[in-house]
Amino acid sequence: MADVMAKGDFFWGAASSAFQVEGHVHDDGRGRSKWDVYTHDYRITEAVVGHQDDADVAINAYDRAQSLADIALMREAGLDAYRFSVSWPRILPEGTGTVNQAGVDHYSRFVDDLLAAGITPLPTLYHWDFPQALHAKGGWHNREVIDWFADYAAVVFRALADRVSTFITLNEPYIDLFMMDLIAEKARDKRTDPMRHSSADFGRQAPAQHNMLTAHASAVAAFRQHVPGGMIGIALPLYPTIPVDENRPQDIAAAELTDGLLNRWFLDAALRGTYPADVVAALKSHNPKFAPAREDMAVLKANPVDFIGVNFYSPAYVRHDPDFPLGLGWGNTDTNPDEVKAFNGPVRPEQLYRLLLRIRDDYANPPVAITENGAGFGDGDEVMAGGLVKDPLRTDYITRHVEATLKARAEGADVRGYLVWSLFDNFEWIQGYERRFGMVHVDFATQKRTPKQSFRAYRDLIARHRAGG
Ligand code: NOJ
């Protein structure tokens, strides 16, 4: 079994998630997920970007013939690894209880197909498509979720552990709860600004985030039983924080607390089994009931991860702003000084380099994989010409972030691989199909795939690196 996370060679790949690519939401006994409700019932993309999209078809990746063709493109790019997520409601349509064998068979076949192509499967257990049956019972707010998630994880480990040794528990826990779920609630309630949240909202989400982290640690415990000798990690959205005004004490304090909320909370939890005191105090001041139980912290402490998955897009420029939750004003647009703005924030590859050195220095140099990195800039960077899509800005973004990653590795950061988000254009959550992040263009009406300039550049970059250049 090829173990790409084992120390040694650097691995190259791309990342995706079930809900964003699979489609076929009614097939083979899949249960509903909260995102089916967010898209269809709450009309979340309409609330955010003004047009109604759903992921019923997405990019048809659930279809075997399509998937084999897609894997052929992965081979053409020279990928060592492919990160995908397992859809919890395909495995357990009600979230708990009866296992849906057709769902298990699907992922088992996909793993076989990847392995047959020489590509290491890197499954994520949870990438936001939470089973609706359990969401209706409170979802991550219900403490039973700790067992629900660990039991689901065990089903997946049992099904795949004979062929897969590296797993990721959660994708971007913070974004799921503090961004997407809050936006969904506001879309449901038809609020005028679904993107505007309060400190009380953040206080309310804090215990759910704690349950989620405890569930993660319980899944790590199950992993130790089912996949001895394997490696398990968590994929975190890490944002180096920078005060908008470096001389303004309130901005400096806001950047520090934002760093706690976005970065330290999760790194401390996953690697040390502790929470940063400043973050707990800030959240507690908006929800006195937020008091992480000692026995949960013991579960976290007993089950550290083997590696950190870094999802990096940009730093966050932060200013103190009372109109934002906890007074932490940061966002992608109003604090982004770039002339051409990337969807996910300012383009600063050197911040990825610094982040990797910080993880090396502050957390005793744990193994790291870049589990997501990539960009979209809009139509200006997606110009179809003669059967090729020109995307010079994305190409430049990926090239410079790879350089930053390899520079940190050369300076001793234990970075073992790099995955682009994403190989294919896909369903970008609250923005639907409007935002493209792929190195392969997808015509969403016909499912036709057309490699972009960035696909060729990434393929050449991988080949050069392998040749030692
Ligand atoms: C983070 C998420 O994990 C992924 O689902 C999303 O599509 C990308 N970032 C791009 O925004």
What amino acid occupies position 121? P
Q: What is the per-residue pLDDT for 332?
A: 59
Dist. CA 110 → ligand 1 center (Å): 21
Q: Which amino acid is at 360?
A: R
Alpha-carbon span 208 to 213, nearest angstrom: 9
Q: Are 436 and 421 in contact (CB under 8 A)?
A: no
Q: Measuring from atom 6 of ligand 1, which residue has the nearest CA?
A: 428
Q: Which atom of ligand 1 is nearest to the CA of 343?
A: 11
Q: Measured from the CA of 235, which atom of ligand 1 is nearest?
A: 3
Q: Whose CA is nearest to atom 2 of ligand 1?
A: 172
pLDDT for position 2 = 54
Q: Which of 46, 76, 144, 172 is catalytic?
A: 172
The first and second tokens of residue 360, run together, are 């090396």
The closest alpha carbon to 314, from 285, 283, 345, belongs to 345
Compute the CA torsion angle 99, 141, 212, 186 (nearest 10 deg). 100
Rounded Cα gap, residues 431 and 195, in angstroms: 12
Nearest CA to ligand 1 atom 8: 421
Ligand 1 binding pocket (C-beta < 6 A) is 17, 20, 171-172, 311, 344, 372, 421, 428, 437
Q: What is the pLDDT of residues 80-98, one digit of tens each?
A: 999 999 999 999 999 999 9
Task: Give the tens place of pLDDT for each residue, 230-283.
Answer: 999 999 999 999 999 999 999 999 999 999 999 999 999 999 999 999 999 999
How confident is the model at residue 210, as a pLDDT?
99
Distance of alpha carbon 425 from alpha carbon 259, whole angstroms:
30
DSSP 57-105: STT-TTSHHHHHHHHHHHHHHT-SEEEEE--HHHH-TTSSSS--HHHHH
The segments of the chain whose pLDDT lies below 70 read 1-2, 332-333, 469
CA 374 to ligand 1: nearest atom: 10
Q: Quote the ligand 1 centre to 345 CA distance (angstroms).
A: 13
Q: How many CA atoms lie within 13 A of 241 on its CB side?
A: 23
pLDDT at 333: 61
The yes-or-no answer on residue 185 being catalytic is no
Residue carrying structure tokens 């109003």:
334
Single pTM value for the model: 0.98
Q: Which of 428, 433, 436 to mutate to test the pocket of ligand 1 (most atoms within 8 A of CB)?
A: 428
The radius of gyration of the chain's CA atoms, rounded to the nearest angstrom, is 21
pLDDT of residue 46: 98
